[in-house]
Amino acid sequence: MSTSAIRALKPNVTQEEAVRAFSGAGVSGLYWRMRSGPLRRIADVYVPYFLYRVKYAGAPARLFAIDAVDGSLDLFEFPRIPEEGELLAWDGRNRLRAALSEGRAAELLRDKVLRVIFQQGFFKIRDAHLEITPVHCELHLPYWLGFHERHGSVRCRVMDAVRRRMEGAKACAFFEQWLAA
């Protein structure tokens, strides 16, 4: 892992808010504490994303971002290209490296965008031809990882630090795999 600075979207969740969310008294927090033990530590992690402009018949262009590691995390949609004031220079070790080519990422993005379009109403689109154009913008997105320990076993819980939401098992497995490598 290199320690040169990256450009990252500013998180919408502070460290204190993340600790409260991971230690929360709600049903989800209680479930995690019972299943995985108490919160031991948290860490911020930055994931590289590719940004693409997607255009399809009868709709304005939309901006989607797909993770550049393996394309498995949820898509981000942006109303516009993030401006400098929304980004920060971050210099730390907790970041993943891009492993996908832009071409492979575009293929994965196409499938995911089609799912998004069809979920919004299959019959709203008559032509499923997508025009996908890369937008050259270095972009890393922040996540908070909460580490819970029970009987010597450590489990990772993930919070999307932009959308302020807990992620599911897919994201937990994604980060646990990175940590194990």
Residue 84 is given by DSSP the state: G
Q: How does residue 37 score in pLDDT terms, banded at 50, 70 and 90?
A: confident
Residue 64: the pLDDT is 97
In eight-state DSSP terms, residue 95 is B
CA nearest to 157, candidates 59, 24, 6: 24
Summarised one tens digit per residue, pLDDT across range 124-169 is 555 568 899 999 988 999 999 999 988 888 889 999 999 999 999 9
pTM, rounded to two decimals: 0.89
Distance, in Å, from the CA atom of 101 to the CA atom of 81, rounded to the nearest integer, reads: 21
Identify the residue with better confidence: 122 or 113: 113
The residue with greater pLDDT, 15 or 150, is 15
pLDDT band at 65 (very low <50, low <70, confident <90, very high): very high
Mean pLDDT, the chain, rounded, equals 89
Which residues does 33 contact at the CB level (< 8 Å), separation at least 6? Answer: 39, 148
CA 96 centroid distance within chain: 11
